[in-house]
Amino acid sequence: MTDSGTVKRAIEATMRDFFRSYEDGSSANSTSPMSRTLTPDCTRTVLPESFFKSRGLGNVFNNAEYEQLLVGDIAVAVMKRHTMSNMVIDCGNRKSAASSVLDLEFKDGDATHMELTWFFDFNEDGSAIKRVVEFVDPSALLKLLEKRKAAGV
């Protein structure tokens, strides 16, 4: 049994690395860093579901599917800063939540801030994420999808 202080520190470190992984992946022009804090069987649900369904898209992904989805994102934008706030950790249930702002600089010179809300489930020691639910700002997501369409990705 791991004590709650150790679990809390592990969960916080894992969350910070998770958010940093978007910047690192974008800088490396690779989506693989974006899964480095996730278990191999992690599932990711992106909300609002209605936004994706209205465009004929799914909203639940495994690691490989999510990485493939982000290939188009890093083709048109650089993920500059991913600032986490409002972090809450439930050590007993190995869960956490946070909000974040992802600063995107599009390769055409445009920019936007994408606001997100996150919910995570962790493994027993808090060192890896088993499940991610992210709620994405639809207006920023729409802008990103429009940029991808214009670029043909």
Q: What is the DSSP letter of 12?
A: H
Model pTM above 0.85: yes
Type of residue found at 73: D
Give pLDDT, residue 2.
Answer: 63
List the CATH code of the domain at 4-148: 3.10.450.50
Q: What is the pLDDT of residues 16-45, one digit of tens each?
A: 999 999 999 999 999 999 999 999 999 999
Looking at the chain, the whole-number percentage of residues with pLDDT higher than 70 is 99
Greater model confidence, 4 or 100: 100
Burial profile 110-119: b = 16 or more Cβ within 10 angstroms, e = fewer: eebebebebb
